[in-house]
């Protein structure tokens, strides 16, 4: 299925049972809620998906299960986050074999590659597959920035089609548009600057709190793209305390707690992560409960995709 790289792409959490197995029925429940809300695609195996503690067999199960349940309604994207170029190429081949529609690709993990090494890494992986790629630009967490000069060198690599823009610098959207026009689709990758980057011209967003609040996330996207800014801002301001859960080191636990509260997930995580406890859990839960108590009624047409 062709990937358009616009709209809302949830970075889905991986659901686990109490005995640390994949919880596929709960995964399916969340998946259907995302599709019903109008998301444009899903991303598996990202940070929120706890990819670093998933086996290859588990990734295969998740991809194939999602494809089977989605039945062509939206594309399935697999994230690749590897330290070795060879392993990233292998993961791209697996994704193609399993039936994924596209890839999200991080720079090399652990080693801080320089300009030449980073461009070579992306080019090598992209040239190994015919799947479309979205690069993940997140120097805040992964210490390597994909600079504009790097993108200049990646322009000829046709299947590098998009970027998950997570530099946390809103003006980078404008810089990308000024330099490259529509060559690369731009998706906001930080929940707390969703409105700002969409208003600046981003084509979509890769979201975290959408896992628990799919309708509200899609509504903000649609309202901004329809230039209904006042309505979008009102919803965005209500959403902000929740969106801030996405920029914390424990975003997985925080967002899974939110999913649990709305009936779209559970709190189970895989070690070394532990479920929230004590005052920390109470504080996060208070944020979630306060938002749920004032959850707005969405405009009737806010889920009609623009």
Angle between helices 214-225 and 229-243 (to 10 degrees): 150
DSSP secondary structure string for all residues of 225-259:
HTT-HHHHHHHHHHHHHHHGGGGSTTHHHHHHHHH
In the DSSP assignment, the letter for residue 9 is: E
**Active-site residue (options: 136, 221, 236, 254):** 136
Whether 136 is catalytic? yes
Cβ proximity of 229 and 237 under 8 Å = no
Alpha helix positions (H), the chain:
24-37, 56-70, 85-98, 115-127, 139-142, 148-154, 171-180, 194-199, 214-225, 229-243, 251-261, 278-293
Residue 151: which of 141, 160, 143 has the closest Cα? 160
Task: Give the full edge-to-edge strand order of the sheet including 102-105.
Answer: 7-10, 204-207, 185-188, 160-165, 133-137, 102-105, 76-80, 42-44
Cβ proximity of 118 and 107 under 8 Å = yes
Q: Provide Rg for the chain, Cα atoms.
A: 18
* Environment class of 159 (CB within 10 Å of its CB; exposed 0-12, middle 13-18, buried 19+): middle
**Active-site residue (options: 164, 185, 225, 256):** 164
- Give the whole-angstrom CA distance, residue 170 versus residue 173: 6
Whether 254 is catalytic? no
* Environment class of 29 (CB within 10 Å of its CB; exposed 0-12, middle 13-18, buried 19+): middle
Active site residues: 136, 164
């Amino acid at each position: 299925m062709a990937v358009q790289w616009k709209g809302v792409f949830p970075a889905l959490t991986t659901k686990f049972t109490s005995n640390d197995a994949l919880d596929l029925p709960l995964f399916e429940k969340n998946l259907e809620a995302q599709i019903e809300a109008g998301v444009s695609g899903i991303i598996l195996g990202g940070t929120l998906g706890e990819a670093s503690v998933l086996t290859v067999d588990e990734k295969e199960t998740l991809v194939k299960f999602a494809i089977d349940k989605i039945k062509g309604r939206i594309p399935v994207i697999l994230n690749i986050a590897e330290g070795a170029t060879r392993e990233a190429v292998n993961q791209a081949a697996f994704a193609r074999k399993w039936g994924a529609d596209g890839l999200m690709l991080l720079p090399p993990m652990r080693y801080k590659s320089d300009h030449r090494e980073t461009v070579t890494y992306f080019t090598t992986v992209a040239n190994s597959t015919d799947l479309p790629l979205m690069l993940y630009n997140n120097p805040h967490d992964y210490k390597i920035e994909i600079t504009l000069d790097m993108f200049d060198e990646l322009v000829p690599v046709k299947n590098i089609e998009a970027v998950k823009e997570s530099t946390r610098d809103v003006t980078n959207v404008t810089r990308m548009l000024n330099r490259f026009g529509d060559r690369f689709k731009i998706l906001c990758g930080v929940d707390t600057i969703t409105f700002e980057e969409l208003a600046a011209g981003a084509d979509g967003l890769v979201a975290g709190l959408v896992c628990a609040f799919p309708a509200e996330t899609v509504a903000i996207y649609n309202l901004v793209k329809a230039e209904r800014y006042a309505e979008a801002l009102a919803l965005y301001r209500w959403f902000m305390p929740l969106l801030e859960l996405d920029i914390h080191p424990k975003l997985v636990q925080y967002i899974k707690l939110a999913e649990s509260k709305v009936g779209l997930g559970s709190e189970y995580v895989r070690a070394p992560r532990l479920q929230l406890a004590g005052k920390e859990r109470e504080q996060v839960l208070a944020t979630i409960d306060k938002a749920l108590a004032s959850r707005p009624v969405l405009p009737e047409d806010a889920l009609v995709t623009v």
